[in-house]
Structure formats: structure tokens, C-alpha cells
Amino acid sequence: MASFSVLALIPGVSRSGAILTIMRFFGFQRQFSVEYSNLLSIPVIIGAMIFMIVNSSLDSSFGSLINFHTSIIFFLSFFFSIIFIYFLVMWVKRFSLFIFVVYRVSFGLWILLALI
């Protein structure tokens, strides 16, 4: 399943959306698909964080790498991500993911029509 996360390299394709779609296609339950998709995000996030730290440490104008504001942003983003994941798992326990499909398809069609 993780190999389908490479679809996120296509502009407009979400990594978690691609994994959720393929897992549902193969018959996995909604709740497990959401939890697994979020679990697969951990190596991607760690890799992006390491890449950012290495690139910013090479930039002499960056100043102090980890300062107070960076720490606050990191912890707030972590906190709200945990809250969002909790509510998303609660959502898929009760409701279908169909509303997200309708949103993505209609938004994509709207963009395509706007480009014509």
C-alpha cells in the first residue's frame, strides 16, 4: 500500500487520499484505512523535517536553527494534528468517506472548467 503514496508526486494528488482510495479499493475498512494512512505519514514527515533542517543549516542567513517561534509552531502543529486525526477517525466510524469524494471530484471539475 505504501508504494501508492508515490502518486502524491502528481500535482493535486494527496498522499493520504491516494492510500485511502487504494485501501478502500482492496476492501479494507474505513477506520483501518485512515489509521494506516496516518501511520504511513510518519516517515514522510520525519524525512521532510530532516531535509528542512539540513538545508536550513547550510544557509548562513538562517540564524538560529531552532528558536522559540519554531518550537511553538512545531508543538501547536503537532497538537492540532492529533486532534484532527482523532476527529477524522471518529467521523469514519460513523459516516462514509463519500462526502470527501464528492468534494474532490466537484472541485476538480470546477477547476477544469475554469481552465477552459
pLDDT per position as a tens digit, 72-87: 888 898 899 889 989 9
More reliable by pLDDT, 76 or 49: 76
pTM of the model: 0.69
Closest CA to 1 of 25, 17, 23, 29: 23
The amino acid present at 85, given as its one-letter code, is I
Span 86-95, pLDDT tens digits? 998 999 999 9
Task: Give, in order, the Cα–Cα distances in Å from 100 to each of 20, 21, 78, 86, 106.
Answer: 11, 11, 23, 17, 10
| Domains contained in the chain, number | 1
Q: Which domain holds residue 26?
A: 2-58+67-115
The percentage of the chain sitting over the pLDDT mark of 70, rounded to a whole number, equals: 88
pLDDT, position 96: 86
Beta carbons within 8 Å of 28's beta carbon, 6+ residues apart = 36
